[in-house]
Structure 1
Amino acid sequence: MARDYYEILGVRRDATQDEIKKAYRRLARELHPDVNPDDSETQDRFKEVTQAYEVLSDENKRRMFDMGADPFAPSGGGGGGSAGGFGASGFPFDDIMNAFFGGQAGGGRGPRERSRRGRSIKVRVELDLAETAFGVTKDVTFPTAILCDTCQGEGAAKGSKRHTCDMCQGRGEVSQVARSFLGQVMTTRPCPQCSGQGSIITNPCGDCAGEGRVQEKVTRKVQIPAGVEDGTQIQLAGEGEVGPNGGPRGDIFLEIVQRPHSTFERHGDDLHCTVTVPMTAAALGASLTIDTLDGTEEIDLRPGTSSGRVITLPDRGTRHLDGGGRGDLKIQVEVETPAKLDEEQESLLRKLAELRGEDHPPGKFSPGHGNFFSKLRGAFSSR
């Protein structure tokens, strides 16, 4: 047992924190190594005083010391205590609390369950836009742990079996009795030889090394519902890894990755695309053939269509994930102005401009929203 920390600091056992602090400061000034650089005995005394203050200034450590426990003992440490009390290798304070307040001490709990649930697996599944829109049945291949066919999850080689652990006699736990100031205290811990299982394998299976499962690549046919999108996760309960010793399977989480499409961008369940038409088609109107997820369709471009106009085709988007209908296909029209004209084309356009009175256009200016100058002005004003 360490020396009495109260005696070292020269204070009563019911001393207040303020009295303990004052006593330490007085002794520290007297015994500090800077004051006694060549006196090893005084330096050892200073270390002892500092340790005493460390214990008595901390409420938890002080309470442990008052109860007879070593406040510097590692938490959860083992070892039997001596009849004289608690030292650095004595009975740990946690075991005392367990014995009286329902921890591991006292009654037995029996052997642990050998099998444990397997891990869950995340598998990335890449799909085209049409597959996410309408659903698809997909073969998915991934590495996982499956039940060992040789031992059927038992872990023992053919012709052998698990044996009762001779250390714990099949209980899965061992007990230890130690003496303390409270009397004899019994603690119970998982058996270190069988890891609390109550049995051991002396001749493990050669295929799974006693684990009851083996690693293998498997292929599963999975049904992807219509309407999934990039980032959607689908849970397949009980389809993941087999647990150790034949334990139940974990889950599979399919993470959907949608490949980019050459024409369409997806926004929720709506599809967006842009069609570029010459200015003559925009002015005169035209009939356009476009490809949709449902095949080719004809759309009419009305005369006088301006750049930026959006044509909506209802129910041509992806299916809703809940199965209730579909999104829309939104087509934005961009009018292309020719950058180069031959003489005949330029002559015809000039004639058209004269007929429409547009050969000397005045131009129309308005405040607008989001035009170049307002954006420029906003960029400087925000600084």
Structure 2
Amino acid sequence: MKKDYYEVLGIQKGATAEQIKKAYRKKAIEFHPDKNPGNKEAEENFKTAAEAYEILSDADKKARYDQYGHAAFNGGGGGGGGFHGGGMNMDDIFSQFGDIFGGGGFGGGFGGFGGGGGQRRVKGSNLRIKVKLTLDEIANGVEKKVKVKRKIQAAGVSFKTCPTCNGAGQVMKVTNTILGRMQTASTCHTCGGSGQIIESKPNHADAQGMVMEDETVSIKIPAGVSDGMQLKVSGKGNDAPGNNSVAGDLIVAIEEVEHESLKREGENLHLDLYISVAEAVLGTSRDIETVTGKVRIKLEEGIQSGKILRLKGKGIPSLNSYGSGDLLVHVNVWTPKTLSKEQRQFFEKSLTDDNFAPHPEKSDKSFFEKVKDMFS
């Protein structure tokens, strides 16, 4: 089981953005591979701290993590990386969070992974798409195949070592101050941090040796996602120039298509069921639609309008794998607006019939009690 991200960084849930950044920097320095050469446990702790910072430093991701926990970022993914966390490697960390150390460094500057100032891997830009899901797809999970237009390195492009940074991807600057000589590192402006520049490229490629290509990406979406949630498919964004680069990610935003009759409220579903006065008096059976198929329910004789029937487990599955929500069937007795002469006479006679007079029992809850029960 994954450790709580707040526990990983040693902070409280209400920590500020600055406190989160400070805590991550402390952990990253403690477990940095340059400080712990060959220590696999330190390397894993370094990755876990970066994974925690990736989520907690982003307001949207942090809000989803606070609500759903690790399940907010679970699922499969094209490219073998999966969603948040599982696909993070050392190159991702140094590419995304290298500036967390303020451009200075530990022992002369953090370089690329395992290198003490070696060449850094540049990560390509992310792509974003929207995927529309029906309520049935959300309830059962689905695999979607989408066509993505992404930049990839052109066939035949070749690179050579950048003459400005000699392949390091960074240039060092030494400044004399009253405190002594200060060394800082900045991204090389010639190669953009990749350590390489184009040696030759085909005519149809752009200035960075890239071409646009359509690719079909398979996205495994877990059951229980919600509208506005974002999933990440690692390695399916744009490529970056250079032989040592890694592709960006594909960010998938979920858009929930409104169901014709079922209304969602978290993990519960609501259905308005209309029956006639005769059905309410005599009782009946009805086939109703659920996200797992049709089910038959029985309505007893004398059922009252406003009655709520709870079908346990017929709602939306929990992302945390804590079971499924319920389907709440709201019974509404439909009153006819026009009557025939015979029908009117029947109801006029019923006005003085004590059997038709309201006699609510203690077990018949009021509207407000039903609403209270529904939200409790």
> TM-score when scaled to structure 2?
0.54
Match of 2:234 in 1: 237
Equivalent residues of 2:154, 2:202 under 8 A apart: no
Matches within 5 A, 1:149-188: 149-151=155-157, 156=158, 162=160, 165=163
| Alignment partners' CA distance in 1, 2:250 and 2:190 | 34
Match of 1:328 in 2: 326
Q: Which of 105, 122, 136 is the aligned partner of 1:116? A: 122
Equivalent residues of 1:145, 1:215 under 8 A apart: yes
- The alpha carbon displacement at 1:336 in A equals 1.3
Q: Which of 118, 131, 139 is the aligned partner of 1:133? A: 139
| Alignment partners' CA distance in 1, 2:314 and 2:167 | 67
Match of 2:205 in 1: 208
Match of 2:89 in 1: none
| Alignment partners' CA distance in 2, 1:113 and 1:196 | 8
Match of 2:43 in 1: none
Match of 1:339, SS state, is: coil
Match of 1:340 in 2: 338
RMSD (CA atoms)? 4.4
Equivalent residues of 1:114, 1:245 under 8 A apart: no
Structure 2: gaps (5+ residues): 1-106, 110-115, 175-183, 359-365, 369-376
Distance 1:192 1:296, change over 3 A: closer
| Alignment partners' CA distance in 2, 1:173 and 1:341 | 85
Distance 1:345 1:127, change over 3 A: same
| Alignment partners' CA distance in 1, 2:297 and 2:236 | 47
Match of 1:314 in 2: 312
Structure 1: gaps (5+ residues): 1-101, 105-109, 178-186, 362-367, 371-383
Q: Which amino acid aligns with 2:257?
A: R
Say whether 1:268 aligns with 2:274. no
Match of 1:354, SS state, is: coil
Equivalent residues of 1:120, 1:240 under 8 A apart: yes
| Alignment partners' CA distance in 1, 2:186 and 2:338 | 89
Match of 1:234, SS state, is: strand
Match of 1:145, SS state, is: strand
Say whether 1:301 aligns with 2:299. yes
Q: Which amino acid aligns with 1:221?
A: S
Distance 1:236 1:354, change over 3 A: same
| Alignment partners' CA distance in 1, 2:228 and 2:314 | 22
Match of 2:219 in 1: 222
Match of 1:146 in 2: 152
Q: Which amino acid aligns with 2:233?
A: L
Distance 1:205 1:327, change over 3 A: same
- The alpha carbon displacement at 1:207 in A equals 3.5
The CA deviation string for residues 276-312 of structure 1, in whole angstroms up to 9 with x for no partner, is 1112211222222222223222211122222211111
Larger Cα-atom Rg: 1
| Alignment partners' CA distance in 1, 2:186 and 2:355 | 99
Q: Which of 247, 250, 253 is the aligned partner of 1:252? A: 250
Equivalent residues of 1:232, 1:256 under 8 A apart: yes
Match of 1:282, SS state, is: helix
**How many residues of Structure 1 are paired with residues of Structure 2 in the alignment?**
252
Q: Percent identity?
A: 33
Name which of structure 1's ranges 116-125 and 232-241 shifts more when overlaid on structure 2: 232-241
Match of 1:318, SS state, is: coil
Equivalent residues of 1:111, 1:196 under 8 A apart: no
| Alignment partners' CA distance in 2, 1:176 and 1:302 | 83
- The alpha carbon displacement at 1:212 in A equals 3.7
The CA deviation string for residues 194-214 of structure 1, in whole angstroms up to 9 with x for no partner, is 678776546444233352432
Matches within 5 A, 1:14-163: 113=119, 116-151=122-157, 156=158, 162=160
Distance 1:217 1:293, change over 3 A: same
Match of 2:348 in 1: 350
The CA deviation string for residues 53-100 of structure 1, in whole angstroms up to 9 with x for no partner, is xxxxxxxxxxxxxxxxxxxxxxxxxxxxxxxxxxxxxxxxxxxxxxxx
Match of 1:6 in 2: none
- The alpha carbon displacement at 1:189 in A equals 9.0
Q: Which amino acid aligns with 2:144?
A: K
Distance 1:201 1:220, change over 3 A: closer
Equivalent residues of 1:123, 1:254 under 8 A apart: yes
| Alignment partners' CA distance in 1, 2:171 and 2:301 | 91
| Alignment partners' CA distance in 2, 1:234 and 1:264 | 25
The CA deviation string for residues 14-36 of structure 1, in whole angstroms up to 9 with x for no partner, is xxxxxxxxxxxxxxxxxxxxxxx
| Alignment partners' CA distance in 2, 1:300 and 1:171 | 73
Equivalent residues of 2:234, 2:249 under 8 A apart: yes
| Alignment partners' CA distance in 1, 2:264 and 2:239 | 38
> TM-score when scaled to structure 1?
0.54
- The alpha carbon displacement at 1:141 in A equals 1.7
Equivalent residues of 1:163, 1:199 under 8 A apart: yes
Distance 1:321 1:200, change over 3 A: closer
Match of 2:352, SS state, is: helix
